[in-house]
Structure 1
Amino acid sequence: MPIPTEPIGSVPRPAYLLADITDAALVDKALTETIAEFTATGSPVVTDGEQGKSSFATYPLAGLTNLGPDGAVIPFADGHTRQLPALTAGPFRYGDYAVTHYQRARGLTELPVKQAVIAPSALSLLYPADGIDGYSREQFLADLADEAEKDIRQCLEAGAHSVQLDFTEGRLSLKLDPSGGVLDAFIALNNQVLDRFSDAKRARIGVHTCPGGDQDSVHSLDIDYADLLPKLFTLHVGAFYLQLASEPDPERVLAIAAEHLPEGARLFVGVTDPIDPAVETDEQVRDRVLAAARHIPVDRLGTCDDCGFSPFADDTSTSRETAFAKVAARVRGTALAAEQLGV
């Protein structure tokens, strides 16, 4: 497709999988169905749909025993919360790597497979504020950087079309710390990991930002993109995936993005809103792409969904049918825009 289009990551898990997401046979069944449904939409790039992950953020923690329940709390606009675990002892190591999910999907399709991974900045929130005896925060961050590098590198070396860092905590950080200090620390940690890769490999790494999405609510849509994007675009990646369809003033956001997008980087703009139950028409998607093309050169433009459709496995607020209908609309609408733009 002349204008590339990609999913972000998760799709709702079937009910039978939610009954036991640790059952490998059920994961394989759901993954096979997911790849088939992605293919039926005409999507030129597919993902594993995060079928075997409990959430986009916590898959590396599977099986770990050095965690407690009283970690950072993430509040959503509708009043519900999500709580991360807290590290209780070192050293920190991943219990599961994204490459295991990539390899399962890779064996089911000839299409390019994209793999989402959690950004190290999100996992930095696992370290408790009062510290851990015998395991300093500095040592934790060093171990975390090594593990995050391994998570990304394994996917690239296994042949992933691209690796996408999920960075939903970027916008949230400005709500928790309006001074921007936490965001600066997040950016620095992520770049510390990204700088371990060659230019060629960083060209296949992207970062996704959004105001969060869970149970049809968000955690930071009220934070102005003008405060986030200039710093977001200092991340050393080849692509940025930007939630946009649910923004109240997308033209303003596009103007900011156009001003700060790094030379050579591609901007994938969100053209479907996973929280909106209405399925976008092909023409709505087309018009959103055309609006983006007024700000971003077409040869540096792509499209995506605003967010994953079920970042947490137990989020069933969107049906699989709706999710794939939106994917299909994104694919068709992007093609319509490309035709009108003559590319």
Structure 2
Amino acid sequence: MTDTASQAHPHPADVSFDGGDLDCGNGLLLLIRKHIDPMARGQLLEILSTEISVDEDLPAWCRLTSNDLVSFTKTGKQRSFLICKGKFDERGKAEEKPAAKVSAPAAAPAPAAAPVRRPAPAIPPLAVTGIGSWPRPRWMVDAMHAYVEGRLDEAAFHQTADDAVRLAAAAQERAGVDIVTDGEQRRDSYASFVATRLDNCQLIPLTDLLPLVDDPEEFERELRALDVPAADVRHPAIFGRISRSRPLALHEFDFLSTVTDKPIKVALPGPYLLTRTMWMECLQERAYQSREELAEDIVTALRAELADLIDAGVALVQFDEPVLSEVVFSGPKSRPSFMCGALSETRSPEHELGFARDLMNAVVSGAPRARTAVHVCRGNWTPDESVALAGSYAPLLNTLGAMKVGAYLLEMCTPRAGEMELLRALPAEARIGVGVVNQKCAHVEGCEDVEARIRHAIDLFGAERVLLHPDCGFATFADNPICAAVPAETKLARIAEAARHVRGG
């Protein structure tokens, strides 16, 4: 901080940083987010800049994010902006607090006793499971926002999440599932939650990404499809080389194993998905020379997590790779979306699919194949089927078949997914998870319709290979559930009911 700039402002800054010549579309907003998120509301952030475009862009960002621009000074090329986090009239509430410091999140509190490990239970034929996410209670969503924004400590957050997990697990067991998930209750979304667990990674609001996309108007239209404020949905951003100094999801399994005796599945974002969503050249070039180099660290983190989950007794570790659909499908329903990693560079479909295959195989190498799976869908950020990707699995079969996983959990109920017969090309030793209800549809499918889909899958693959689930999760994004809790439970119960009829018949 320069003394001249600081003294020119009517109030002293609590935190200050120098953005140099970065503009808002080349990383400055991400650095602002890194510094302002840990601060208390009402505290003041000074931003130094020599970039002329910031004069216009930063006030616009303040208006968009409801932060107040308190004052602005300029000496030669050096600019200094003083921003209040939130409204300036909240300043008095924060003046007695010490200045916020930017640091990595504190490690989760150690459990009172070491978790009890037990062998992973076998997964029976025609096992019923959810894909992963479950609608979160409103109080859980509020706690999540408070935690990410630094208004709720980690211990209190996890205590709140424990209650939400108990409710999600109980609902699944009432529905009659064979494999339970924790409903991803601790996660803001199916993928970006890793930013709260990895070192040198942080969540930022989607609104901060507008300057980074090629078509901001199109991006804004996609955000409006969420039906929630874009500032409430966050995206991972990297500020240095990432590493895994604490688990990504092992703590989720440890708690869930205390409330259920059923086999447990844990979903993780796949390595290609994470690479596509986390690679933003405006910042990563400081830590990584290429996205391939970033991918190496992502693979290292996921391999370590997978090993810990397998050792702990997780029955199935599912890697989510919906972005594979974005790679291959073209046409009016196939424009890139933020959910499918649209902010990163892509090359030819052949190159991208090969890259995704190699990353997945690097992660699962050496792991028990039967306990790994990959999930693919075509987008799950809105119930509106008309805006989701569409196309059969034909262009993905070679890539999926070359991934050395033990199961494929695939969207199949929606007509957008094409014909189930194509899946016979997948490895004969792998299990095939078939979506038999559509979580996007408000109505609950009839038992006869679900039974018919199950019997069709058995005819194609044999009962021993078939797993049963919805097309995708019920609440991929915490703030924007696709389905409410009651119909979600009813849909799972319908799958379990149909499976019982088929087993008994």
Report the TM-score when normalising by structure 1.
Answer: 0.88
In 2, distance between residues paired with 1:169 and 1:72? Answer: 17
Deviations 1:59-118 (A, max 9, x none): 211165545653779969796377743323224447651111111111111111111111
Deviations 1:149-201 (A, max 9, x none): 11211111111111111111111222466633212211111111112x24xx1
User: What pairs with 1:147-186 in structure 2 (closer than 5 Å)?
Assistant: 147-175=301-329, 179-186=349-356
Shift in CA distance, 326/72, structure 1 to aligned 2, threshold 3 Å: farther
| 2:495 match | 330
User: What pairs with 1:277-292 in structure 2 (closer than 5 Å)?
Assistant: 277-292=442-457
CA contact (8 A) 1:62 1:95 kept: no
Shift in CA distance, 281/33, structure 1 to aligned 2, threshold 3 Å: same
Given the alignment of the two structures, is residue 136 of structure 1 paired with residue 289 of structure 2, yes or no? yes
1:256 to 419, 422, 438: 422
In 1, distance between residues paired with 2:266 and 2:185? Answer: 12
Q: Secondary structure at the match of 2:380?
A: coil
- Report % sequence identity: 25
| 1:209 match | 376
Deviates further, 106-115 or 90-99: 90-99
Deviates further, 108-117 or 128-137: 128-137
Deviations 1:214-266 (A, max 9, x none): 1214665323321112321211011110100112575x2x22111x1112101
Shift in CA distance, 310/106, structure 1 to aligned 2, threshold 3 Å: same
CA contact (8 A) 2:448 2:498 kept: yes
| 1:109 match | 260
CA contact (8 A) 2:474 2:481 kept: no
User: What pairs with 1:191-340 in structure 2 (closer than 5 Å)?
Assistant: 191-195=361-365, 197-198=366-367, 201-217=368-384, 220-248=388-416, 250=418, 252=419, 254-258=420-424, 260-340=425-505
CA contact (8 A) 1:55 1:313 kept: yes
Shift in CA distance, 72/189, structure 1 to aligned 2, threshold 3 Å: farther
AA matched with 1:14: P
Gaps of 5+ in 2: 1-123, 148-156, 227-232, 330-335, 337-346
CA contact (8 A) 2:195 2:237 kept: no
In 1, distance between residues paired with 2:125 and 2:158? Answer: 37
CA contact (8 A) 2:195 2:236 kept: no
In 2, distance between residues paired with 1:150 and 1:129? Answer: 26
In 2, distance between residues paired with 1:183 and 1:95? Answer: 30
Q: Secondary structure at the match of 1:264?
A: coil
| 2:132 match | 9
AA matched with 2:380: G
The structure with the largest alpha-carbon Rg is 2
| 1:80 match | 225
CA contact (8 A) 1:271 1:285 kept: yes
AA matched with 2:256: A
Report the TM-score when normalising by structure 2.
Answer: 0.61
Shift in CA distance, 286/159, structure 1 to aligned 2, threshold 3 Å: same
Could you say which structure has the greater relative contact order, defined with CA pairs below 8 angstroms and 6 or more residues apart? 1
Gaps of 5+ in 1: none
CA contact (8 A) 2:133 2:476 kept: yes
CA contact (8 A) 2:125 2:467 kept: no
CA positional deviation for 1:281? 2.0
